[in-house]
Structure 1
Amino acid sequence: MINLDCDDLFDSWRQQARWLLSHEVDPSLVSWASEGVSDLFANEQSVPEGQGPFQARIPRLLLETLECAAQYRGDQRWSLLYEVLWRVSHGDRTAMMAGDKLGSELQRRLKQVHREAHHLHAFVRFIERPQGSPGPQYVAWHEPAHDILHSASEHFIGRMGRHRWLIATPRDGVYYDGEQLIHQRQCPVEWQQLAQNVDDPHGELWLTYYSHIFNPARLNPKVMQGHLPARFWKNLPEGELIPGLITQARTGKQQNGQASGIAARGGKRIAMKEGRE
């Protein structure tokens, strides 16, 4: 077994995969370390030297697909990509399709990556820092399940204009300085502390608004958690309210069709005009 480590970088994996493919090394003979952990049960095998004779023609679409799928964190993260590459380079393009067992897993990972990017766009909450503060004007904390931060955060460059902003995660971080997007694979501790400890001057106003627009009569917890997974609640300002609002709906508040604070208010009597029945 050939043990390799690409440091969880697609460009490094790509160079290693090209070299293996040139020697026509079968996927069953290769193992990649993921997050620094290698296969403990693999036997070391000598590595071929130099470039091999096999020259494969790889479709550009395949490389783009593999680069996207490489953002998925999970078992056989890099080995699966090489197996797909191997089969396609040998004329079997069904490895990219959902009808194939390998292709089905590839497509599942792609969906997970795209969904996680959507979660970043939907659930990141930027908090404005006091005017005149050095560094970013807006900061946010997020905990993605896959390595989508660098590519998916480009979405905010157009949305935030020339403002400086930062997104920190437990793993990596991005900082836009108004001109370029800076990605740190290991998020600096100061970025993490800044994003997690900043005070939101409009926090109470937002919580009041959110609690008042909540409609218990229309609540479907399963659907809600499908669109807003519970793992994100702890990092959302409104997250602390959601369990209580769900409990209210389950204990009879659905009949009001309003948040409890609104339902308790007195109504205004409307007089009937004469001549109407």
Structure 2
Amino acid sequence: MHSAHFDGSFAGWREAARTLLCHGLAPHQVNWRGDGDSGGLFDQAPSPVNTQPAAEPPRIPRQLLELLQSAACFRVEDRWSLLYRVLWRVAQGDRAAMLPGDIDGSQLHKRLKAVRREAHHLHAFVRFHPRPETVEGPQLVAWHEPAHDILHSASEHFAERLGRSTWLIATPDDGIYWDGRHLHYQRPCPDEWQRLAQTPEDDGQALWLAYYGSTFNPARLNRSALENSLPVRFWKNLPEGPLIPQLMSQARAGAQRDGQATAVAQQAGKSIRYNVAKKPPISGNADPAPHH
């Protein structure tokens, strides 16, 4: 068994995988160890490759490399093993490994789907907090806890939409900072970045909570749909997160039946009643004669 050590990045894995492919090492002969992987008591130290490299390196489709790079963001213990297994099979001429109907391809595409969904969660559920204009550093800060390593690849979304505003997103594992022109990615996330993101100085948060609570319509509450579109694991990091259980409780206690009718009825002003039963029939004459 060959123990393949690398820096834990896709670029590092790709270089190691290329070397192993050229020396003809099959997937079952390789034990992958990236930086940050917890080693066991009986794990082998890095071992040299004893076989001679092939005369020509195998040709790999660019599409496959793009799929593997995206799937590498999926956090699971055997993420690198599956990638090398798919890579090995395609290099041997078995392109079915790239397809969803294949046993390895199925796992690959499930991971790709999960990574895409997690990138969507980042775009939808990040809440930037403005910082005072008098302080240095990013103008906007946000804390997020993604399930997969999507921060680096998915953050260009904000660079395109926030213009030259400087912003920072910190996570428990990594962080990214936009200085108005360039993205600066750090892994692990610096302690200072984490502190800024977790302790925002946002004077407008109370106004946002008041707005969110006033626009919540309990009559349209569907808990399963809410938790599917806004998973519970994100609530703790959203400004409105603490309000959601309270609003849901009020809905179950009767607000869902009344909807917003009670709030509307309590408003000052005249009420106008319409007698629906005595409503005149619709005439076919578009311009009825006036009554004298």
The TM-score, its normalising length taken from structure 1, stands at 0.92
Instruction: Pick closer, same or farther for the CA change 1:181–1:46 going to 2, 3 Å.
Output: closer
Deviations along 1:50-75, whole A, 9 cap, x unmatched?
86115211000000110111111112
| 1:122 corresponding residue in structure 2 | 124
Q: How does 1:191-270 map to 2 (within 5 A)?
A: 191-258=193-260, 262=263, 265-266=266-267, 268-270=269-271
Q: Return the offset for 1:221.
A: 1.0
Q: Return the offset for 1:223.
A: 1.0
| AA aligned opposite 1:13 | W
Tell me whether 149-158 or 44-53 shows the greater mean CA deviation: 44-53
- 2:160 maps to which of 158, 172, 175: 158
Matched, 1:36 2:44: no
The TM-score, its normalising length taken from structure 2, stands at 0.88
CA–CA distance in structure 1, aligned partners of residues 64 and 27 of structure 2: 17
Deviations along 1:62-117, whole A, 9 cap, x unmatched?
00110111111112010100000001111111111111111111001001111111
Instruction: Pick closer, same or farther for the CA change 1:45–1:11 going to 2, 3 Å.
Output: closer
CA–CA distance in structure 1, aligned partners of residues 119 and 83 of structure 2: 20
CA–CA distance in structure 2, aligned partners of residues 185 and 109 of structure 1: 22
| 1:3 corresponding residue in structure 2 | 3
Report the secondary structure of 2:118's partner residue.
Answer: helix
Bigger Cα Rg? 2
Q: Is the 8 A contact 1:212 1:259 kept in 2?
A: no
Q: Return the offset for 1:266.
A: 4.1
Report the secondary structure of 1:242's partner residue.
Answer: helix
| 1:17 corresponding residue in structure 2 | 17
- What's the C-alpha RMSD, in Å, of the aligned pairs? 2.2
Deviations along 1:113-172, whole A, 9 cap, x unmatched?
111111110011111111121010111111111111011011111111111111111111
Q: Return the offset for 1:258.
A: 2.4
- 1:68 maps to which of 67, 70, 73: 70
Q: Return the offset for 1:265.
A: 2.5
Q: Return the offset for 1:42.
A: 5.3
Report the secondary structure of 2:169's partner residue.
Answer: strand
CA–CA distance in structure 1, aligned partners of residues 20 and 39 of structure 2: 18
Q: Is the 8 A contact 1:211 1:259 kept in 2?
A: no
Deviations along 1:21-57, whole A, 9 cap, x unmatched?
1111110111112532246555669532586115211
| AA aligned opposite 2:266 | R
CA–CA distance in structure 2, aligned partners of residues 259 and 115 of structure 1: 37
The list of structure 1 runs, each at least 4 consecutive aligned residues, that deviate by more than 6 angstroms after superposition, is none
CA–CA distance in structure 2, aligned partners of residues 217 and 105 of structure 1: 40
- Paired residues, number: 275
| 2:282 corresponding residue in structure 1 | none
Structure 1 alignment gaps of length 5 or more: none
Q: How does 1:90-129 map to 2 (within 5 A)?
A: 90-129=92-131
| AA aligned opposite 1:64 | E
| 1:80 corresponding residue in structure 2 | 82
| AA aligned opposite 2:48 | V
CA–CA distance in structure 2, aligned partners of residues 56 and 69 of structure 1: 21
CA–CA distance in structure 2, aligned partners of residues 246 and 12 of structure 1: 47
Structure 2 alignment gaps of length 5 or more: 280-292
| 1:188 corresponding residue in structure 2 | 190
